[in-house]
Amino acid sequence: MTSSATGPGFGPLRRMTPRSRDEEHRSATPLELFFDLCFVVAVAQAGLQLVHALAEGHPGTGVIGYAYVFFGVWWAWMNFTWFASAYDCDDVPYRIATFLQIAGVLVYAAGVPRAFNDNDWTVAVVGYLIMRAALTTQWLRAARAESGPARRTTLTYAASLVVCQAGWVVLLFVPEDWKRWLFLVVVVAELMIPMIAERNHQTPWHAHHISERYGLFTLIVLGETMAASTVAVQSALDENEALGKLLPIAGGGLLIVFSAWWIYFAVPAHERLVSNRQAIPWGYGHLLIFGSAAAIGAGIEVAVEHAIGKAHISSFAAAAAVTVPAALFMFMVWLLHARYFKRGKAQQLDLPVGAAVILACTFAGDAAVLLAGLAAAATVTVGVILSTQHPDAYPRDTQGT
């Protein structure tokens, strides 16, 4: 990895000139990795609230609340990631602005329980204000080094962030019944920002750097899923002796997470990121990939609580908490990039069929998680076997699924 933006080493003050899209050996920086790790604090908070909602038998409100708070985490991460890919200059002002965004997401994470359970977004919006103030400053700084269409793009980003942030502030003062609907309106406005700002000029994001950043965040979220599942099993063992019930859940969960890792990194996603036409749906679609990856861990926690009798829900509901996000993860990875590297009908059907089989495991009762894990592992195995028939479809250092 390199922490340099325009040359070797760290510079106290640099002109924020655009990065080259053809820059060689571009990789994630230590600051970006630190940024991701801090964001996972908010991901963990969202997952914890989802566990409580599902375990108490409130799947509808739980999933909706999870979607709302997770969007806030993902969108803040997206904003920084794509900006950094285009304009990271790694000097003192840039690092300070990044640290402010980290502080903002930690405030946002502190507000997740209130937003999730009480529809109280005050703390979360304050966190967003901190993040947005720092990011807006970054865009304005980039505008000073640009001219023509590029300058208009950076200024449009800065102005749009301010307008949308005003929408989040207004959210705090509307009647309770209006909050979730206004939230959706502001979400649509937020998602429109890149499409409006980059109509006449595309920011110089780096395809390989972007795909690496997404991959690293996927790894961190899967790691958080593994950690949450381990803690759940350990806590259950401390309170019960239900080892026979917990081992199948732990084993199945492990197979699901390993398979999720294998499937995601089986193809070189950066090869398709040529322009915004491919990058925007790919980048936006990762909301479901990140969200489902984190939800797998929450589902495993729910399955553990059900196994030891702490979650008073049906076996079907406990199983669905794991199988639904696992199937969604597999399907979205296929939809966003894996299918473009498949050769032949058998390879194309491998992941969608695997997702369907995992979903069908929901009806297997207490054995659902283990069977879903075996189905995920079987999907990977079939993919590896099929890839030997078309080795040219995959890069030399990966195995196809």
226-267 pLDDT, tens per residue?
887 787 777 777 766 677 788 889 899 999 999 999 999 988
Residue 341 has pLDDT above 50, yes or no: yes
Q: Per the confidence metrics, is the pTM higher than 0.95?
A: no
Q: Nearest 5 degrees, angle CA 178-CA 180-CA 181?
A: 65
Q: What pLDDT sits at residue 233?
A: 77
DSSP 265: T
Residue 4 has pLDDT above 80, yes or no: no
Pairwise pLDDT comparison (3 vs 302), residue with the higher score: 302
Q: What pLDDT sits at residue 193?
A: 95
pLDDT in tens, 29-48: 999 999 999 998 999 999 99
Q: Which of 133-147, 173-187, 221-235, 305-319 is least confident? A: 221-235
Q: What pLDDT sits at residue 69?
A: 93
Q: Report CA-CA distances (Å) from 389 to 259, 347, 392.
A: 21, 10, 9
Which amino acid, residue 72?
G
Q: Which of 92-101, 171-180, 284-293 is least confident? A: 171-180
Q: What pLDDT sits at residue 240?
A: 66
Domains and CATH numbers, the chain: 30-197 (no CATH), 207-393 (1.20.1410)
Mean pLDDT of 208-233: 89
Q: What pLDDT sits at residue 7?
A: 45
d(Cα 315, Cα 98) in Å, to the nearest integer?
44
The answer to whether 346 and 396 have CB atoms below 8 angstroms apart is: no
On the CB side of 95, how many CA atoms lie within 13 Å of its CA?
16
Residue 185 dihedral angles phi and psi, to the nearest 5°: -65, -45
Number of Cβ within 10 Å of residue 15's Cβ equals: 11
Among 65, 73, 66, which residue's Cα sits nearest to residue 41? 73
Q: What pLDDT sits at residue 244?
A: 78
The tokens of 26 are what? 């571009």
Residue 395's pLDDT band, with cuts at 50, 70 and 90, is: very low
Q: What pLDDT sits at residue 11?
A: 62
Of these ranges, 217-226, 268-277, 326-335, the one predicted with the greatest mean pLDDT is 326-335
d(Cα 210, Cα 27) in Å, to the nearest integer?
9
pLDDT in tens, 65-90: 999 999 999 999 999 999 999 999 88
DSSP string, 77-134: HHHHHHHHHHH---SHHHHHHHHHHHHHHHHHHHHHHHHHHH---HHHHHHHHHHHHH
Residue 142 has pLDDT above 50, yes or no: yes
Q: What is the percentage of the chain residues whose pLDDT exceeds 70?
A: 93
Range 38-41 contact pairs with CB under 8 angstroms and sequence separation of 24 or more: 38/102, 38/105, 38/106, 39/73, 39/76, 39/77, 39/105, 39/217, 40/220, 40/221, 40/224, 41/105, 41/106, 41/109
Residue 26 has pLDDT above 50, yes or no: yes
d(Cα 52, Cα 55) in Å, to the nearest integer?
5
Q: Report CA-CA distances (Å) from 234 to 228, 239, 304, 305, 371.
A: 10, 9, 10, 11, 22
d(Cα 70, Cα 291) in Å, to the nearest integer?
7
The answer to whether 303 and 319 have CB atoms below 8 angstroms apart is: yes
Residue 392 has pLDDT above 60, yes or no: no
Torsion over CA of 140, 142, 148 and 153, rounded to 10 degrees? -70
d(Cα 322, Cα 369) in Å, to the nearest integer?
7
The helix/strand/coil state of 32 is helix
Average pLDDT across the chain, whole number: 88
The answer to whether 73 and 39 have CB atoms below 8 angstroms apart is: yes
Residue 5's pLDDT band, with cuts at 50, 70 and 90, is: very low
